Amino acid sequence: MDILKQLQTKAEQVEVVQMRNEATTIEFEANRFKTSKVEETSGVAARVVRNGRLGFSASSDEKALDRLVTNVLESADFGDEVPITFPAPQTASQVKTFDPAIPDLPVARLVEIGQEIVDMILSVEPAAQVNVSLNRGVQQVRIQNQAGVEAFFRRSPLSIGAEVGRIEGDDVLILYDMLGTTAWEQDYLAFARRLVDKLKLARTLTTIDSGKMPVLFSPTGTLVLGLPLMEGLNGKNVFTGISPMRGKVGEKLFDDKITVVDDGTLDGKYGSAPYDDEGVPHRRNVLVERGVLKGFLYDLKTAAQSGVESTGNGSRGLFNPPAPEPTNLILAGGSTPLSEMIAGIDEGLLVEDILGLGQGNIISGAFSNPLSLAFKIEKGEIVGRVKDVSIAGNVYDLLKEVTAVSRETLWVYGGLCMPYMLLPEMNVIAKE
């Protein structure tokens, strides 16, 4: 049944989104290939504006589409009056997010890659337990609305993640890293080499005293600073008034070395697609430029509420209405080589991984986290791993003064591109 047509006779505005995903997952558990899984998910979500009120519903049951129609109309009866306008068709830039090499990867090849990663890690840490998960898929999204949008795109996400556990008595080290892409990556082992490097470095244990010291964040560690910013830059938090950055566009909030960009148009990246999930073309959004706040991330609804245009950041799952989310979030690299940054530290901390990322009152910018992997830097050299150390602070204070941002940047956890960042002084708490 043509739901779009059917709903158009009953509502002023209609949006119908069809999603269809196929995925294959190969899992290595405790160094061995243990499970494989095939998934096929499909469903339809609909939004209507009826008598000025917005309604939403979804169904994964293709035989229950009549109930979808009833549900979405009932939802609109109770919905809020939102000045939302489903967009007219707009030309999107060409973004490569489908690479046939990914769906064509045979299961046997995925298993081979998994084994390669396990072997690589066991060669440096024979007693480690390695879990590897390899997932390749094809996602198809079709977005239609009454204004004529007929957006269709295909994506071919590939993710390879490895968790390494090393237990020595009561000392436990757990490391995780992953590759996330939508285009086949020739150097698919880069993330595993990073794990190997960290495992080697972590063999030497040392101690550090509590106190104030320079702290260097690695690309994975930088996330602890980036996450509160992501929350604060989210148009929903700006509209509702809880973002500390609300009303400060044009103000210099951070050090000159801080530039933050969201860009869903990069070929092959994990968060890329020609359109967002509301049929608005993705684009490059500069959020912070040389420390000056430039703008926020919006979907259609929060944009309408705030009286601005959608930035193409509407993101949804089948069963949830859209909300603003970053696509690929980039903290721009700087001008200092990493080696120079390390060489300039007399005594300090290198933060690689954080425990409890995102917990606590992060919208305020505050964080306080134990470090699951951190190293001590002494006289310009990384001298060993430190345990039972935590850091705390507020990003809105800390990022006012940044000593250096590295030339090198790294894509981590899929759609995040991060540099190394050196802060002049932070409070480090070590267990006595």
Partner 1 sequence: MRDRIEAALKSSQADYTEIRIEQRDATTVAFRGKDLETASAVVDTGGIVRCLCRNNGWGVATFNSLDDLTARVEQAYQCARAAHSEQLIELAPIPAAQEQLTVSLGEGRDFRGISMAEKKALAESYNNILLTFSSKIVDTQTYYGDSFTRLTFASSDGTLIEEERPMVTVVAAAIARDGDNVQSAHETRSGQRGFDFVQGCEHLARTAAQRAVDLLGAETVVGGQYPVVIDPVLAGVFIHEAFGHLSESDFVYENPKAKEMMVLGRRFGQDFLTVFDDGSIPGLRGTHRYDDEGTPTRRNDLIKNGILVGRLHSRETAAKMGEPLTGNARAINYRHPPIVRMTNTAIEAGTISFEEMIKGIKLGIYACDAYGGQTALENFSFSSGCAYMIRDGQIAEMVKDVILAGNLFTTLLNIDAIGNDFQWIHHAGGCGKGGQYPLPVAFGAPHVRIQDVVIGGK
Of residues 192-221, those binding partner 1 (CB under 8 A) = none
Q: Is the Cβ–Cβ distance between 244 and 160 less than 8 Å?
A: no
60 binds partner 1 (CB under 8 A): yes
Q: Is the Cβ–Cβ distance between 146 and 14 less than 8 Å?
A: yes
107 binds partner 1 (CB under 8 A): yes
- The footprint of partner 1 on residues 377-406 (CB under 8 A) is 388, 390-393, 396
**From 1, 10, 74, 109, residue interacting with partner 1 (rule: CB under 8 A):** 74
244 binds partner 1 (CB under 8 A): yes
Smaller CB separation from partner 1, 55 or 219: 55
**From 1, 10, 51, 80, residue interacting with partner 1 (rule: CB under 8 A):** 80
Smallest gap, in angstroms, from Cβ of residue 150 to partner 1?
24
Distance CA 21, CA 230 (A): 27
The rounded Cα 9 to chain-centroid distance in angstroms is 39
Smallest gap, in angstroms, from Cβ of residue 62 to partner 1?
7
Determine whether 263 is exposed, middle or buried from the number of CB atoms within 10 Å of its CB (0-12, 13-18, 19+): buried
124 binds partner 1 (CB under 8 A): no
- The footprint of partner 1 on residues 171-190 (CB under 8 A) is 172, 174
**From 4, 147, 292, 429, residue interacting with partner 1 (rule: CB under 8 A):** 429
120 binds partner 1 (CB under 8 A): no
Smallest gap, in angstroms, from Cβ of residue 147 to partner 1?
22
165 binds partner 1 (CB under 8 A): yes
Instruction: Please identify, among the stretches 2-10, 167-175, 267-275, 408-416, the one whose residues bind partner 1 according to the rule CB under 8 A.
Output: 167-175
67 binds partner 1 (CB under 8 A): yes
Residue type, 225: L
Instruction: Please identify, among the stretches 61-69, 186-194, 200-208, 282-290, the one whose residues bind partner 1 according to the rule CB under 8 A.
Output: 61-69
Three state DSSP letters for the chain: CCHHHHHHCCCCEEEEEEEEEEEEEEEEECCEEEEEEEEEEEEEEEEEEECCEEEEEEECCHHHHHHHHHHHHHHHHHCCECCCCCCCCCCCCCCCCCCCCCCCCCHHHHHHHHHHHHHHHHHHCCCCEEEEEEEEEEEEEEEEECCCCEEEEEECCEEEEEEEEEEECCEEEEEEEEEEECCCCCCCCHHHHHHHHHHHHCCCECCCCCEEEEEEECCCCCHHHHHHHHHHHEHHHHHCCCCCCCCCCCCECCCCCCCEEEECCCCCECCCCCECCCCCECCEEEEEECCEECCCECCHHHHHHHCCCCCCCEECCCCCCCEECCCCEEECCCCECHHHHHHCCCEEEEEEEECCCCCCCHHHCEEEEEEEEEEEEECCEEEEEECCEEEEEEHHHHCCCCCEEEEEEEEECCCEEEEEEEEEEEEEEECC
170 binds partner 1 (CB under 8 A): yes
Smaller CB separation from partner 1, 185 or 231: 231
Smallest gap, in angstroms, from Cβ of residue 337 to partner 1?
31
Determine whether 19 is exposed, middle or buried from the number of CB atoms within 10 Å of its CB (0-12, 13-18, 19+): buried
Smaller CB separation from partner 1, 57 or 265: 57
40 binds partner 1 (CB under 8 A): yes
**From 1, 5, 10, 38, residue interacting with partner 1 (rule: CB under 8 A):** 38
Smaller CB separation from partner 1, 172 or 343: 172
- The footprint of partner 1 on residues 252-271 (CB under 8 A) is none
Instruction: Please identify, among the stretches 77-85, 117-125, 191-199, 378-386, the one whose residues bind partner 1 according to the rule CB under 8 A.
Output: 77-85
242 binds partner 1 (CB under 8 A): yes
30 binds partner 1 (CB under 8 A): yes
- The footprint of partner 1 on residues 349-378 (CB under 8 A) is 355-361, 363-364, 366, 368-370, 372
Smaller CB separation from partner 1, 143 or 245: 245
For residue 403, give both structure tokens: 């000593």
- The footprint of partner 1 on residues 316-345 (CB under 8 A) is 319, 321
169 binds partner 1 (CB under 8 A): yes
Binding string, residues 270-309; x marks residues near partner 1 by CB under 8 A: -----------------------------------x----
